[in-house]
Amino acid sequence: MKKKLSIVDIAQSLNVSKTTVSFILNGRAQEKRISPELVERVLKYVEEVGYKPNSLAKSLRTGKSNIIGLMVEDISNPFFASIARLIEDRAYKNGYKIIYCSTDNDTGKTKDLINMFRDRHVDGYIIAPPEGIEDDLNSLIKDGMPVVMFDRHLPQVNADYVEIDNLFSTYNATLHLIDKGYKNIAFITFASRQTQMVARVQGYKDALASKGLTPVIKEIVFNQDEDLIIGPIESFLKEHTGLDAVFFGTNHVGACGLKVISSLGIKVPEDLAVISFDDYDVFKLYKTPVTAIAQPIIDIADNVITVLLNKLNNPLSANKPQGVILKTELRIRDSSK
Amino acid sequence: MKKKLSIVDIAQSLNVSKTTVSFILNGRAQEKRISPELVERVLKYVEEVGYKPNSLAKSLRTGKSNIIGLMVEDISNPFFASIARLIEDRAYKNGYKIIYCSTDNDTGKTKDLINMFRDRHVDGYIIAPPEGIEDDLNSLIKDGMPVVMFDRHLPQVNADYVEIDNLFSTYNATLHLIDKGYKNIAFITFASRQTQMVARVQGYKDALASKGLTPVIKEIVFNQDEDLIIGPIESFLKEHTGLDAVFFGTNHVGACGLKVISSLGIKVPEDLAVISFDDYDVFKLYKTPVTAIAQPIIDIADNVITVLLNKLNNPLSANKPQGVILKTELRIRDSSK
DNA sequence: CTGAAAGCGCTAACAT
DNA sequence: ATGTTAGCGCTTTCAG
């Protein structure tokens, strides 16, 4: 077990002061007018013996950890997994590491997680916030921590956020269904007071209202156990026989809904047209490919990390937080023909 | 921005030594025979002012970070995302945090990542190892770091690992196809010398050999860009018109393969029977539900974390590393009827 | 240009 | 039972 080298070891071996080594390693040689030869010699030696500064000690001293805390709803959801992946890549390229975790939309768990991150001295926070953590986030912001929300935002929290145009997306997609002649359109989604979900429901309602149609909304309580999502959808679909179209509010609900539709032997789109929020393989490959609202995942990730890096690099900039609203794309497939 | 409290502040406010506070906070009060009244008083005060020890300083001092490094192939792959999720949960419950990242099966990137983890003083490593990092892993182990491999292992690395019975899984599934009367069965997968893939191919070959049939194997070079996976599969399928069944070696290849099959208008299973390794929504919901080999995700995650926690808690235990091999389940659906 | 020295907040011998 | 003290490895003033 080879002993870890410290900056002192390097300094001693080279017969210079550790201060000098530190300056050189931190690119402050020029500023400190250290001779290029020495710089060269130190760098070469450091390389040679494979010395790595202890970042823990560094963090303790500087108060910076170069870690970003990323809280998604559920990392096993493809939407969040993809975003996490893209953010991870961009973060690494900029010298930051990611610690991530899943909130499960659980307020208590999220509070714990925030404390843990805080405790770990993460430099910035990226979060798809559940409800009820306004105070925690505000306290973070008050302490000068960069915070970026995505997928949704908390109106009482004055921080940057990156979202999509939820209301228009469902409005537009619902109109598409109506255009195609569907009249009894149900909206099935997770029960949630979060901004993104409220907007999605509203867009759906607005579109129906504009044509004098009546909304039928089914809210499912989220549960890890898929059967508890499938069950209610099945009951709902069995009860509401007059429907000619159904709109799923998230990819997860959509996938579960399709399972129900398959098992019930419902024909898409003849018996029932289908649209879902989010797009992924399941929708493309379903028996009848499913029309979906695709979120600009790359754009979302790019915006999130750009905003955060900005705040990280200009901690002073007291410029007002802003919200970025991105467009979605309605991918029309056979399920709504 | 309220100033962070340190243990010294606590000690001063209470007129005790910081040692005492430290002992109390670390549950060593009894052992050190500190009066219950004092313990009570300290704990109450700590709670009251919301003091949190600085874990960075703690780590620097103790050399423990309570962080586990988790390296998967690609966090946006549902198989790895699910496992990561389960591991994350179990780790948190045991007081560990996870730093995760995607290796992309890229040796260079993985080496960097290992260095980063090492640098961050993670307490243990969980990795789905790409080829070529034997030395890095061995050096880790030599330095006494707990390492657990999963999904595959590196024969030259003497560490615990958790895998499934790849060879038997494909052997068994291939026999199933043969039983059903299919004779010209192709195996399409990612080009890889990793243990799990070698075993999968071997199982397929063995099954065919046992019946005197000839293998047809197509290896695809992995690429982030899905079109570069779909393209080769399409060419392959067009060239090999005599096939009556195809076996996809991973969920990713399987999903891409289905896209090709759909776009080519190939009927499953009439024109072509299909089986894929891994199981997920896409296979259940495909036009013709696809027979799949389901990995015991929960078991895998459980075993991985159990083994790691064990090593973390008994660093001394020089017991030989062992491999855990788990069983898979062949879920027969209409695509291989 | 370089060195001494003071911490960052915590733990753990080693005294009392 | 409780206090003293010496670091963990690094950055950074301040003096040469």
Identify the weakest region by mean pLDDT among A208-217, A255-264, B23-32, B124-133: B23-32
- What pLDDT is stored for residue B160 in this prediction? 96
**CA atom of B121 to C1′ atom of D13, Å:** 29
Structural domain includes residue A1: no
Q: What is the mean pLDDT of residues B42-67?
A: 86
Q: Is pLDDT of A231 > 50?
A: yes
Question: Is beta strand B67-72 parallel, antiparallel or unpaired with respect to B97-102?
Answer: parallel
Length in residues, chain A: 337
B282-323: pLDDT as tens digits = 999 998 999 999 999 999 999 999 999 998 888 766 678 899
The answer on A177 and A141 residing in a single domain is: no
pTM of the model: 0.89
Q: What are the two backbone dihedrals, phi and then psi, of residue A224, each rounded to the nearest 5 degrees? A: -60, -35
Residue that is written with structure tokens 């960075």 in the block: B56
The answer on B235 and B150 residing in a single domain is: no
Q: What is the mean pLDDT of residues A279-284?
A: 92
Structural domain includes residue B181: yes
- Which nucleotides of strand D lie within 7 A of protein CB? 1-5, 7-14
Structural domain includes residue B2: no
Cβ separation of A56 and B102 shorter than 8 Å? no
Give, in degrees to the nearest 5, the angle at Cα B47 between A55 and B90: 55
Is the minimum CB–CB distance between B56 and chain A shorter than 8 Å?
Answer: yes
Q: Which residues of A touch B78 (CB under 8 A)?
A: 76, 78, 81
The Cα–Cα gap between B94 and B92 comes to 5
Confidence of residue A317 (pLDDT cuts 50, 70, 90): low
A to B CB pairs, distance under 8 Å: 116
The answer on B237 and B182 residing in a single domain is: yes
**CA atom of A123 to C1′ atom of D2, Å:** 37
Confidence of residue A314 (pLDDT cuts 50, 70, 90): confident
The answer on B109 and B73 residing in a single domain is: yes
B38-47: pLDDT as tens digits = 888 888 888 8
Is the minimum CB–CB distance between B25 and chain A shorter than 8 Å?
Answer: no
**What residue numbers bound the domain in which B15 lies?**
7-53
The answer on B318 and B244 residing in a single domain is: no
- What pLDDT is stored for residue A65 in this prediction? 85
The Cα–Cα gap between A334 and A297 comes to 23
Structural domain includes residue B222: yes
Q: Which residues of A touch B82 (CB under 8 A)?
A: 76
The answer on A173 and A289 residing in a single domain is: yes
Q: Encoding tokens for residue A231? A: 């069950």
Choose between A201 and A142: higher pLDDT: A201
Residue type, B78: P
Confidence of residue B203 (pLDDT cuts 50, 70, 90): very high
Q: Is pLDDT of A209 > 80?
A: yes
**Residue percentage of chain A with pLDDT more than 90:** 64
Structural domain includes residue B1: no
- What pLDDT is stored for residue B297 in this prediction? 97
Q: What are the two backbone dihedrals, phi and then psi, of residue A39, each rounded to the nearest 5 degrees? A: -55, -50
Residue type, A17: S
Cβ separation of A101 and B88 shorter than 8 Å? yes
Structural domain includes residue A259: yes
Is the minimum CB–CB distance between A115 and chain B shorter than 8 Å?
Answer: yes
Name the β-bridge partners of B292. B276, B331
Identify the weakest region by mean pLDDT among A51-55, A123-127, A194-198, B102-106: A51-55
Which residues have C-beta within 8 Å of that of residue A243, sequence separation ≥ 6?
A184, A185, A186, A216, A237, A272
Cβ separation of B144 and A60 shorter than 8 Å? no
The answer on B155 and B116 residing in a single domain is: yes
Helix (H, G, I), strand (E, B) or coil at A162: strand
Choose between B280 and A1: higher pLDDT: B280
- Total domains in the fold of chain A: 3
- What pLDDT is stored for residue B8 in this prediction? 86
Q: Is pLDDT of B1 > 50?
A: no
Containing B283, the helix (H) or strand (E) segment is helix B281-285
Q: Is pLDDT of A2 > 60?
A: no
Q: What is the mean pLDDT of residues B149-157?
A: 96
Whether residue B292 contacts residue B333, with contact meaning beta carbons closer than 8 Å, is answered with yes
A79-112: pLDDT as tens digits = 999 999 999 989 988 888 888 889 999 999 999 8
Is the minimum CB–CB distance between A298 and chain B shorter than 8 Å?
Answer: no
Identify the weakest region by mean pLDDT among A41-45, A303-307, B30-34, B77-81: B30-34
Give, in degrees to the nearest 5, the angle at Cα A188 between A85 and A162: 35
The Cα–Cα gap between A119 and A270 comes to 56
Q: Which residue is nearest to nucleotide C11 (CA to C1')?
A: B61
Confidence of residue B155 (pLDDT cuts 50, 70, 90): very high
CATH number, domain of B122, equals 3.40.50.2300
Structural domain includes residue B34: yes
Confidence of residue B3 (pLDDT cuts 50, 70, 90): low
The Cα–Cα gap between B38 and B59 comes to 26
The answer on B275 and B181 residing in a single domain is: yes
Cβ separation of B281 and A85 shorter than 8 Å? no
> Mean pLDDT for chain A?
92
Structural domain includes residue A74: yes
The answer on B241 and B195 residing in a single domain is: yes
Q: What is the mean pLDDT of residues B76-104?
A: 90
Which residues have C-beta within 8 Å of that of residue A123, sequence separation ≥ 6?
A64, A65, A66, A67, A68, A96, A145, A146, A312
Q: Is pLDDT of B163 > 80?
A: yes
The answer on B217 and B69 residing in a single domain is: no
The answer on B197 and B105 residing in a single domain is: no
Whether residue A194 contacts residue A152, with contact meaning beta carbons closer than 8 Å, is answered with yes
- What pLDDT is stored for residue B100 in this prediction? 85
The Cα–Cα gap between B149 and A223 comes to 31
Which residues have C-beta within 8 Å of that of residue A40, sequence separation ≥ 6?
none
Nearest to B262 by CA among A182, A261, A286: A286
The answer on A177 and A225 residing in a single domain is: yes
**CA atom of B30 to C1′ atom of D2, Å:** 13
The Cα–Cα gap between A337 and B113 comes to 48
Question: Is beta strand A147-150 parallel, antiparallel or unpaired with respect to A160-164?
Answer: parallel
Containing A45, the helix (H) or strand (E) segment is helix A36-49
Whether residue A306 contacts residue A105, with contact meaning beta carbons closer than 8 Å, is answered with no
Whether residue A203 contacts residue A175, with contact meaning beta carbons closer than 8 Å, is answered with no
Whether residue B206 contacts residue B167, with contact meaning beta carbons closer than 8 Å, is answered with yes
Confidence of residue A1 (pLDDT cuts 50, 70, 90): very low
> Mean pLDDT for chain B?
92
Residue that is written with structure tokens 């997928």 in the block: A151
Which of A7, A68, A97 to probe the B interface (max B CBs under 10 A)?
A97
DSSP assignments along B174-198, one per residue:
HHHHHHTT---EEEEEE---SHHHH
Is the minimum CB–CB distance between A141 and chain B shorter than 8 Å?
Answer: no
